[in-house]
Structure 1
Amino acid sequence: MTEATGPLQGLRVIELGVLLAGPFCGQILGDLGAEVIKVEPPGQGDPLRQWGTVKKDGHGLWFPIVGRNKTCVTIDLRQAEGQAIVKDLVREADFLLENFRPGTLEKWGLDYETLAAINPRLIMIRVSGYGQTGPNSPKAGYASVGEAMGGMRYVMGEPDRMPSRAGISIGDSLAATYAAIGALAALEHRHRTGKGQIVDSAIYEACFAMMESLIPDYHFGGYIRERTGSFLPKIAPSNIYPASDGMVIIAANQDTVWRRLAEAMGRAELADDPRFLTHVARGEHQGELDGLISAWSSQMTIAELEACCEDHGVPCGRIYRAPDMLADPHFAARQAIVEVDHPQLGPFPMPAVFPKLSATPGNVRWTGPELGSHTEAVLRDLLGYSPDKIAHLRTSGVI
């Protein structure tokens, strides 16, 4: 088995969550070298094992990624004996990660106060829709609702249609990423004090944190951001433009870059045109400017536009899909896509570990394992349970 190489080697995470927000946080920590013990319900496991549009030989294609680098055990957390196993695991753990509805761990006797009495150094990472406090905290909170409450959904899509979505589970992933950042900050605090704490990451707040000047725009100017499709109002030129064989993104809203784009277009005089001279002026004439650029770009192929913009120092790029990523030499040079052997499916391509660290880079050691494949080994080797006790737990349906 491949050894961990990341900076979190020697740290242990007990992951109790299912679906995406909690497990994605566990993936981040595992990618960076932590030992992640993923706890799943016996017989059914994390629903992510079956999620996804595409199946390969009956296998879902999400779980091999989000379950990578984890050991997988089954424990029925609703049974007292299952709760006792978690308490035993917590004794030597650094983090406990969960994304159940607030109050669930408390109902099972696995609240922070109880677990911290067992292990005062424990850092509990809690990911939920609305956070652990406040009037909404007991509600079921899926990512889509958090994205809406956090302001993200309202500004996505075309202005003449209902709000759109990002096409990925952005709310879950953002909350998980903030949870991982919080966990590492809590770890630094523990280094100084020896004490753990709770990390409370809410999906709606993770989305809200991305909303830039949304609140002061309204507070000071009464301005409410609306859906604008492929561009941001008053940020010009920065849009998707047509090519003769497709489309590209060109971003030239900075004054100096806009001047270079005007030269690339063979229209250097436009840079000194009062309508386009400054950032504010270009914003006021955004539609007109986009029309001029589109008339120019549509006469060229994607490759010609990329070459022309590169020659003039103008950011320009293709709209990538999976086939483009797999064929792109930059993805290859950066090893942004790694192939990991899957026991049933063979070579399995997936995103690599990000960000890249120069001295202690993380690594992908294995794909998400089969349900419960490490249960007996963890109970026997980690907790010292006897064969008779393990057999009893299995017969009782606890594991």
Structure 2
Amino acid sequence: MDATTPSIQALADIRVLDLSRILAGPYATMMLADLGAEVIKVEQPGVGDGTRAWGPPWVGPFSAYYLSVNRNKRSVTINLKSEQGRELIKALAARSDILVENFKAGTMERLGLDYDSLAAIHPGLIYCSISGYGQTGPYKDRPGYDFMIQAHGGIMSITGPVEGPPYKVGVAVVDVTAGLYAVSAILAALHHRERTGQGQYIDIALLDAQVGWLVNVAQNYFATGEKPKRYGNAHPNIVPYETFETADGYLALAVGADAQYQRLCQVIGRPDLWEDARFQTNAGRVTHRDILIPQLQEVFRSRPTQAWLDALWAATIPASPINDIPAVFADPQVQHRGMAQTIQHPQAGELTLLGPVPKLSRTPAAIRTPPPMLGEHTDAVLQELLGLGGDAIAHLREEGVI
């Protein structure tokens, strides 16, 4: 599927000054950009976002990592260590609706670019800080990275084999979800500003994000006081809800209702597993999982994966193959939903990027432009927004400000 540009987008009148790097912040600003916002990505001259160097793999001169979260943005290089550079940031912030940054707590205040300083210039500014542990509390000065937050926030303790070591999730899910929380908060702040004219400060912590999506696991702990266990691919509250080995591989089975379980027993030719009173309710199946699951596993080993999937789907029982990544993007449903899209890049040629997730009927998200080259839009932005002429821009470049 090719990227297309709709005529109207929900955030087309919003400008975002993006001082973030790596993943959580850039993911958030990319989502805003997909919805139409103008995102000005500020990078260090000559260096840029650290993910530009996070290869291989490479696509032309770009790391795949950088390409994953920087589409629909304009790149401007400004040296924040320079007083003139900081003045440029203030001037751009005064002309922006939103600022996103993910420096360590206290850094922006030392630079004179903290919320209070910029809100004095622009009271309507929505300012979002994303950090490992937040702007308050005993750990606020610690650096925070996705992996260590997964460890600190408890998700690794409940992920992995029952008898094995704790595992991290296979993608930087803390960064991604922190970015999602940031977007939700920013959109709420925009709505508040629409009603009141007031901007506000948003404090997003990776740790809060990870603890926040413990959801039912946390509630299980609150309810019982017992330390949650690892269940591998099984579920603490639903049975059968896990992977099963087949004659030629594995499948995932998600039986979330007693009626589904009854149909399952018919499909697999084991009506006795429904007639057994111990297994007729989910609570009973959870209590007696050690008796039930081995019997189901023995049955599933008797036929190939696809044969089971065909039978289960015919009975409207939730089940899935366990796809690798190539299989995901070859899947007709994924293709139909536009989750891989192509766009031309002046240096890298045709790029394939993940497509936007939300499908809005009137103001669809879209990939309009490829991830930018370092400083690609510096001159244009300084001219358009600050009215600087060619000589002034050349002088700033000579001084190492841009």
TM score, norm. by length of structure 2 = 0.95
What corresponds to 1:311 in structure 2?
A: 314
- Whether the aligned pair in 2 keeps the contact of 1:214 and 1:224 (CA below 8 Å) is no
Aligned to 1:149: 152
- The within-5 A match list for 1:46-195 is 46-195=49-198
Equivalent residue for 1:331, pick from 319, 330, 334: 334
Preserved CA contact (<8 Å) 1:5 1:363: no
Is the 2:44–2:80 Cα contact (8 Å) retained in structure 1?
Answer: yes
Question: How far off is 1:2 after superposition?
Answer: 5.0
Deviations 1:343-391 (A, max 9, x none): 2332222221111111111101122111001001101122101222111
How far, CA to CA, are the matches of 1:3 and 1:47 in structure 2? 32
Give the drift of 1:290.
1.9
Deviation at 1:321, TM superposition (A): 1.7
Q: CA deviation at 1:53?
A: 4.4
In the alignment, structure 1 residue 210 sits paired with structure 2 residue 213: yes
Q: Aligned ranges for residues 256-267 of structure 1 at < 5 Å?
A: 256-267=259-270
Structure 2 unaligned residues grouped into runs of 5+: none
* TM-aligned CA deviation for residue 220 of structure 1: 4.3
Aligned counterpart, 1:358: 361
* Residue matched to 1:380: 383
SS in 2 for 1:275: helix
* Deviating more after overlay: 191-200 vs 44-53: 44-53
Q: Equivalents in 1 of 2:183, 2:263: separation in Å? A: 41
Tell me if structure 1 keeps the 8 A contact 2:279–2:285: yes
Q: Measure the CA separation in 1 of the matches of 2:233 and 2:227.
A: 18
- Within 2, Cα distance between the matches of 1:188 and 1:176? 19
**Aligned twin of 2:300:** 297
Give the C-alpha shift of residue 189 in structure 1.
Answer: 0.6
SS state of the match for residue 62, structure 1? helix
Shift of 1:58: 4.3
Instruction: Write the deviation string for residues 86-122 of structure 1: whole angstroms up to 9, x where unpaired.
Output: 1110112000000110111101000111111111110
1:294/1:61 Cα in 2 relative to 1: closer, same or farther (>3 Å)? same
Distance 1:345 1:246, change over 3 A: farther
Whether the 8 Å CA contact 1:244–1:298 is kept in 2: the answer is yes
Q: Residue type of the partner of 1:105?
A: M
Distance (whole Å) between structure 1 residues aligned to residue 7 and residue 39 of structure 2: 11
**Contact 2:178 2:206 (C-alpha < 8 Å) held by counterparts:** yes
Structure 1: give runs of 5+ residues left out of the alignment.
Answer: none
- Equivalent-residue separation in structure 1 for 2:284 and 2:231 (angstroms): 19
Most deviating of 379-388 and 226-235: 226-235
Which residue does the alignment assign to 2:227? Answer: 224
Alpha-carbon distance, 1:41 to partner: 0.3
Partner SS, residue 127 of structure 1: strand
Which stretch has the larger CA shift, 112-121 or 34-43? 112-121
Q: Which moved more, 1:158-167 or 1:213-222?
A: 213-222
Check whether the contact 2:240–2:255 (CA below 8 A) recurs between aligned residues: yes
Q: Do the aligned partners of 2:36 and 2:365 also contact (CA within 8 Å) in 1?
A: yes
CA distance in 2, matches of 1:98, 1:170: 19
Q: Secondary structure at the match of 1:86?
A: helix
The answer as to 2:243 corresponding to 1:240 is yes
Aligned to 1:392: 395
Residue of structure 1 aligned with 2:276, choices 273, 276, 298: 273
* Contact kept in structure 2, 1:69 and 1:368, CA below 8 Å: yes
Secondary structure of the structure 1 residue equivalent to 2:67: helix
The one-character-per-residue Cα deviations of 1:23-75 (angstroms, maximum 9, x if unpaired) are 11111111111100000000110011122442234431122231100000100
Q: How many Å apart are 1:215 and its aligned residue? A: 4.3
Decide which moves more: 82-91 or 208-217: 208-217
CA distance in 1: counterparts of 2:366 and 2:223, whole angstroms: 47
SS at match of 1:295: helix
Equivalent pairs, count: 399
Question: CA offsets per residue over residues 267-308 of structure 1, 9 Å max, x none?
Answer: 223212122111111012213322222222222222211110
CA distance in 1, matches of 2:241, 2:55: 33
CA distance in 2, matches of 1:332, 1:221: 44
Distance 2:102 2:28 in 1: 10
CA contact (8 A) 2:42 2:78 kept: yes
Paired residues of 2:6 and 2:363 also in contact (CA < 8 A): no
Give 3-state SS (helix, strand or coil) of 1:66's partner.
coil
Per-residue CA deviation, residues 119-145 of structure 1 (Å, 9 max, x unaligned), is: 111000111111111111111111222
Distance in 1 (alpha carbons) for counterparts of 2:344 and 2:300: 43
State how far apart, in whole Å, the 2-side matches of 1:219 and 1:329 are: 42
Amino acid at match of 1:351: L
Instruction: Tell me how far 1:219 sits from its aligned partner.
Output: 4.1
Q: Distance in 1 between matches of 2:209 and 2:77?
A: 30
Partner SS state of residue 162, structure 2: coil
CA distance in 2, matches of 1:380, 1:117: 24
Hey, what's the Cα distance between the residues in 2 that align with 1:386 and 1:11? 25
Asked if 1 retains the 8 angstrom alpha-carbon contact of 2:20 and 2:102, the reply is yes
